[in-house]
Amino acid sequence: MDPTSSADSQERARAQQRVLYETACALAESTTLVDAAPRMLRAICEALDWEYGAMWCVNRAQSVLEIVATWHAATLPFEEFASASHARKFEAGVGLPGRVWQSLRPAWIPDVVHDANFPRAAFAHRVGLHAALGFPIIGRVETIGVMEFFSREIREPDQNLLEMLTAVGSQIGLFVERKRAEEELDRFFNLSLDLLCIANVDGYFLRLNPAWERTLGISTEELLSKPWLDFVHPDDREDTINAKTTVVNETRLTAFENRYRRADGAYRWLQWKAVAYPDLGLIYAVARDVTDRLSGSAAPALRRS
């Protein structure tokens, strides 16, 4: 084997590993795709020797691709091309982003200046861009967007590079879908009329939904700052501790009732269902205010089942 060829192959493999590593780090350390995008674009450009990168995301309401981030070295004169890209939206099949979106396959253009389906060709020519590649960002259930990269050289297609970047696109797509799922769960968490909480086994709330503050009139900050037992009626505390022990040891508890103090000193009856994850040291629970249902009858004894 040609030693030079072997060295080149090893260098390409190392560059590809850097791309995968930097992409994973950017996604893990960012809260949104927009936050992660510039770091990923830079990592790919620098590792693979491309000079300009952009990320486009699908606007589902308008059925177009919109640019969300670009990157190029500050010393390179690509501002005009970047401005032209920010001013564009692409429909399926139009331009490099549109054709990747339509086909859901990577695409390579040896020289965009002479490509019949590249609306930004005049801008690319003025700033000296030629070769381009694009690949889709695909989740399990939908297409998220497209990433594209440009070089000032004319380059022939590199199938290994396209396959590697396609894997990067899948990684990004899964991240976006996971974030969207978290956001959807957050919406339900915030909309619930029941009192939802995550607590640790040491006796503190870690997360509460807005129903707690509405029901008890106590700020979320105060509820998180003190042991939750402080808010339980003194007569109910022993049985509440026993109920917690049952949850942790048996992992599940249903139909337990106790009283929680309001800001005005009155108490509300709460009916609980809970499940524990001992390996994580966490308890997930939902409580329903049943005070109105119990009003007019004798105060019930604490109940567990």
Average of pLDDT values for 29-50? 88
> Residue 133 and residue 150: Cα distance in Å, rounded?
7
The residue that leads in pLDDT, 250 or 221, is 221
User: Tokens 């339509």 appear where?
Assistant: 102
In the predicted model, is pLDDT for residue 304 greater than 50? no
pLDDT for 22: 84
Window from 2-11, 27-36, 161-170 with minimum mean pLDDT: 2-11
Average of pLDDT values for 35-48? 89
pLDDT for 152: 95
Residues 6+ apart with CB under 8 A from 77: 127, 128
In the predicted model, is pLDDT for residue 301 greater than 50? no
pLDDT in tens, 144-184: 999 999 999 999 888 888 888 888 888 888 888 888 888 88
The residue that leads in pLDDT, 27 or 231, is 231
Window from 47-56, 77-86, 96-105, 181-190 with minimum mean pLDDT: 181-190
The residue that leads in pLDDT, 63 or 302, is 63
Q: For the chain, give every residue range classified as CATH 3.30.450.20.
A: 189-294
Find which of 129-143, 178-192, 219-233 is predicted with most confidence, using mean pLDDT: 219-233
Q: For the chain, give every residue range classified as CATH 3.30.450.40.
A: 3-180
Amino acid at 75: T
Quickly state the pLDDT bin for 294 (edges 50, 70, 90).
confident
In the predicted model, is pLDDT for residue 221 greater than 70? yes
> Residue 206 and residue 204: Cα distance in Å, rounded?
6
pLDDT for 5: 59
pLDDT for 29: 87
Q: If one looks up domain 3-180 in CATH, what number appears? A: 3.30.450.40
Quickly state the pLDDT bin for 305 (edges 50, 70, 90).
very low
In the predicted model, is pLDDT for residue 233 greater than 70? yes
Tell me, which fold does domain 189-294 have in CATH?
Beta-Lactamase (3.30.450)
pLDDT in tens, 99-155: 999 999 999 999 999 999 999 999 999 999 999 999 999 988 788 999 999 999 999
| Residues 222/302, Cβ–Cβ less than 8 Å | no
pLDDT for 122: 96
pLDDT for 20: 80
Quickly state the pLDDT bin for 3 (edges 50, 70, 90).
low
Over the chain, what is the mean pLDDT? 89
pLDDT for 17: 79
